[in-house]
Amino acid sequence: MNKEEIYILSAKQISMQQPLCEEWMEHPLYPSEPFVRAANPDFKPYIPPMEARRMGPILKRAIAVSLEAMRESGVSSPEAVITGTGYGCIENTELFLDPLCREGESLLKPTCFMQSTHNTISSQIAIRTGNHAYNNTYAHKHISFDSALYDAWLQFGLKKIQTALVGGHDEMTPVFYEILRKGDIFGQGVEVCGEAATAVVLGCGTAAGSGQPLCRLAGMRILSNSDEETLNVALQGLLSRAGRTTDDIDAVLCGVSGNPTSDALYLSETRRMVGEKPLLRYKHLFGQSFTASGLGFYVAAQCLKRGFIPDFLYVDEKQRLSGAPRCLLLYNRGDGHSRSLILLEA
Amino acid sequence: MGAAAPVWITGSGVVSAIGLDKRECLASLLAERSGVGEVQYLQTSHHEFPVGEVKLSNGQMRERLGIAPDALTTRTALMGMLALQEALQEAEVSAGMLPETAFISGTTVGGMDKSEQYYLDFLSGESHMEYIALHDCGSCSEAVAQHFGEWAMVTTPSTACSSAANAIILGANMIRCGEADMVVAGGSECITKFHLNGFHSLMILDERPCRPFDATRNGLNLGEGAAYLVLESAEHAQRRGVPAQAVLSGYGNGCDAFHQTASSPDGEGAFLAMKEALEMAGLSPQDVGYVNAHGTGTPNNDLSESHALRRIFGPQLPPFSSTKPFTGHTTSASGSIEAVFCLLAMRNGFIPANLNWSQPIEEGLVPVTATREAGLEHVLCNAFGFGGNDSSLLFSKPVGR
């Protein structure tokens, strides 16, 4: 469907690595705790301190990383602002829920409620940049970012938009982490719980003109059915639409995280889909979260831009590519039914 | 740009305070019978605020759906299943077709009804920990979907009170792109203490039945429910031999970009959403026979929406009403519940009343105050959310009906 080529014009991150830069490609930080919060940048250049005081970390990071991505891309007014967030604004939800459950239904603060809904992020970006364009938010577990990207991708295909800001954001508080750990959602193997803030600006046609894009979004699929046949059909459909074959894929970036159960599935499913391709990982550096896949997208885009994959991203270093990567498949699966396949090309 | 190819609607289902299916909702709309009243099912101390609850306990919903009494579930998921069941039946969608069908379901509170009940248990980690996996929005949509089988794709838009409308927009874009032949889209949301108290903290709940577009309006009444539309490409529906109940001829999404919880004085986001929907359909404002307004009953929304309506339609405003006095404000589900009401109105040739109205607001707009007969070709349905997430859907009668 996409006659127009869609380019990634910029991609920025705030995570447990050094914020708003690609320092991790040279000097990665390895998490030493099972839960590591994001390294916050100085928010002053992006948000007046008085306003920042009232915001949860997810919102501050989303605004900072989005403004940086927009600045770098030269797109100040994207034609769509779309956010993915799995859990949304946890801190403000807690600040409202805790007194509600402990002290009952009185004297609750409207500010926390106002900033508790998932769409606070996309709408605050719109408010702060005066952007009246298409604005949407997805909250669907580990495909939240992928759903936001998919929405943009459809609209590029329909020629409704020429530029889009797509984000993936999740925060994690110590209280909520403890709940998830006690509920067995975190704490398997050596998986590290992290926080994610990714902002990507995409453009097509003349909108992609000025700068040097990081890479090209050649296609994507989201699927819910978990059987092997469906996955293979989806991949072949995706490749044939992009005019590619399995042979063109240089490596597969997947969500191997240190959770033994899901890692085993990632390895076996990827092998069945594409055979013996080099497998790349990123969650050992960026942690696990519902929108970790946004950080994976960022990692792949930066590797394609630099024509270089750092050794520490290979699951097996012996599989190291000899030349620059040209085509990366991103495979994202969670504990539920949903999967996503994304094809990025240099 | 010419009009886009319309997306067919081959089925729909609804559950709300005025009925557990379309037949019951239609009867209530025609009889001007509101479902808003004193809180009955939600465990809250706020009995002063009327609400539009679905008139079933969770246990009764489980029974209807054949779900075991001890199976983990949330009220949002249960209501979603009831509405989805009706939609799939009408569109003659069998379980065997679901692996080729996408399910897009908007919600914002997700599993909050259980989280607020068990939060202190979650903190101690001693009991009810299994419910934390049901907390997030996505798990609600997954639960609704999986009750019926395996689907091609499931995702969850979450834009507060426009979530369901945005679900329908994504679904329609998927069909127009050729990404899917059939998408079931809408939303589901139960009332929770969390957002009842949240809306109360913002001082936008009325202790009296809500009065949209009335000079004395003083806030909204919360409601709950679910509704879904089966969206389908014309070719696919024709191949299956399933008729169009209506067509989705246009839609728009604009952002007010004004304030986190208030609408701008000129209704910019609402204006942009309605304008885009009309342009996409290739229709002029005069073609619209009825507007189902967002009309929450808050002083701010109704004034802002009035300005937006004036900007689109000029002095010749088509008949309009808000059906929220019937159902309460069903938040994330409102976009699809009211879309189903629009389809009922078109199909049965009537305009539903804006109940509880007595005197015009400063803008002078007068809604339809008594349900009346009307032949409708095109109707516009507005859904606006916190943060200025404004969307508008334009439905048309299928050709030859």
SS3 B375: coil
- Find residues 137-176 of chain B whose CB sits inside 8 Å of chain A: 137-139, 141-142, 145-146, 150-160, 166, 170, 173-174, 176
Query: Does position A209 have pLDDT exceeding 60, yes or no?
Result: no
* Whether pLDDT at A314 is above 90: yes
How sure is the predictor about A178, in pLDDT bands with cuts at 50, 70 and 90?
very high
Chain A contact set for B257 (CB, 8 A): 123, 126-127, 129-132
**pLDDT digit string, tens, across residues B157-182:** 999 999 999 999 999 999 999 999 99
Find the residue in A nearest to B171 (Cα). Answer: A151
Are B197 and A157 within 8 A, CB to CB? no
Label residues A277-316 b or e (16+ Cβ within 10 Å = b).
bbbbbbbbbbbbbbbbbbbbbbbbbbbbbeeebbeebbbe
Give how far A235 is from chain B: nearest CA, Å: 14
Return the higher-pLDDT residue of B363 and A23: A23
Which pLDDT value is given to residue A160? 96
**pLDDT tens per residue across span B116-163:** 999 999 999 999 999 999 999 999 999 999 999 999 999 999 999 999
Q: What is the pLDDT of residues A119-165, one digit of tens each?
A: 999 999 999 999 999 999 999 999 999 999 999 999 999 999 999 99
Strands A279-280 and A251-254: parallel
Nearest chain A residue to B271 by CA distance is: A132
Element (H, E) at B138: helix B137-146
Q: Is A154 in Cβ contact with B174 (below 8 Å)? A: yes
* Whether the predicted pLDDT of B343 surpasses 50: yes
User: Which residues neighbour B399 within 8 Å (Cβ) at sequence distance 6 or greater?
Assistant: none
SS3 state of residue B385: strand
Active site residue B135: no
Nearest-CA distance from B143 to chain A in Å? 11
Q: State what percent of residues in chain B have pLDDT above 70.
A: 99
Residues of B in contact with A175 (CB under 8 A): 123
**Are residues A314 and A239 in contact, defined by beta-carbon separation less than 8 angstroms?**
no
pLDDT of residue A310: 98
Residue B396 in 3-state DSSP?
Answer: strand
Bridge pairing between strands B51-52 and B153-155: unpaired
Residue A2 has pLDDT above 50, yes or no: no
Tell me: pLDDT of A208 over 90.
no
* B294 counts as catalytic: yes
> Quick one: which of B98, B231, B228, B102 has its CA closest to B155?
B102
pLDDT digits (tens, 9 = 90+) for B261-319: 899 999 999 999 999 999 999 999 999 999 999 999 999 999 999 999 999 999 999 99
**pLDDT greater than 90 at residue A228:** no
C-alpha span between A44 and A46 (Å, rounded) = 5
pLDDT tens for residues B52-100?
999 999 999 999 999 999 999 999 999 999 999 999 999 999 999 999 9
Average pLDDT, integer, range B201-224: 98
Amino acid code (one letter) for A339: R
Task: Supply the ipTM of this predicted assembly.
Answer: 0.98
8 A C-beta contact, residue B15 and residue B23: no
pTM: 0.98
**A243's tokens:** 């005019």
pLDDT at A104 over 90: yes
- Are A93 and B192 contacting, i.e. CB atoms less than 8 angstroms apart? no
Alpha helices in B314-399 (DSSP H): 324-327, 334-348
The pLDDT, as a whole number, for residue A187 is: 87
Answer whether A113 sits within 8 Å of B197, measured CB to CB.
yes
pLDDT at B26 over 60: yes
**Identity at B132, one-letter amino acid code:** I
Cα–Cα distance, B353 to B326 (Å, whole number): 9
Copy the structure tokens of residue B17.
């305070």
Nearest chain A residue to B198 by CA distance is: A113
Q: Which residues of B touch A109 (CB under 8 A)?
A: 201
Residue with tokens 């557990």: B20
Tokens of B136: 């997030």
Q: Is B128 annotated in the active site?
A: no
CB B204 within 8 A of CB B298: yes
Domains and CATH numbers, chain A: 6-208 (3.40.47.10), 216-345 (3.40.47.10)
Contacts of B179 in chain A (CB under 8 A): 1, 154
Q: How confident is the model at residue A210 (pLDDT cuts 50, 70, 90)?
A: low
Question: Is the CB of residue B300 less than 8 Å away from at least one CB of chain A?
Answer: no
> B269 touching A, CB under 8 A?
yes
E strand or H helix at B325: helix B324-327
Asked if A114 lies within 8 A of B202 by C-beta distance, the reply is yes
In angstroms, the CA B25 to CA A29 distance is 58
Domains located in chain B, CATH noted: 7-396 (3.40.47.10)
Tokens of B255: 């952002």
A109 and B CB contact within 8 Å: yes
Binary contact (A100, B160; C-beta < 8 A): no
The label of the residue with tokens 């309006």 reads B217
Q: Which of B135, B307, B329, B378 is catalytic?
A: B329
Q: Which of A123, A172, A173 to mutate to test the interface with B (most CBs of B within 10 A)?
A: A123
pLDDT value, residue A288 = 97
Q: B45 and A104 in contact by Cβ < 8 A?
A: yes
Which residue in this structure is represented by tokens 């920990």?
B129
Is the confidence at residue A3, as pLDDT, over 60?
no
Q: Which of residues 253-312 of A touch B (CB under 8 A)?
A: 290
Residues of chain A with pLDDT > 70, as a percent, come to: 98
Supply the pLDDT for residue B1: 39
Cβ proximity of A58 and A130 under 8 Å: no
Q: How confident is the model at residue A1 (pLDDT cuts 50, 70, 90)?
A: very low
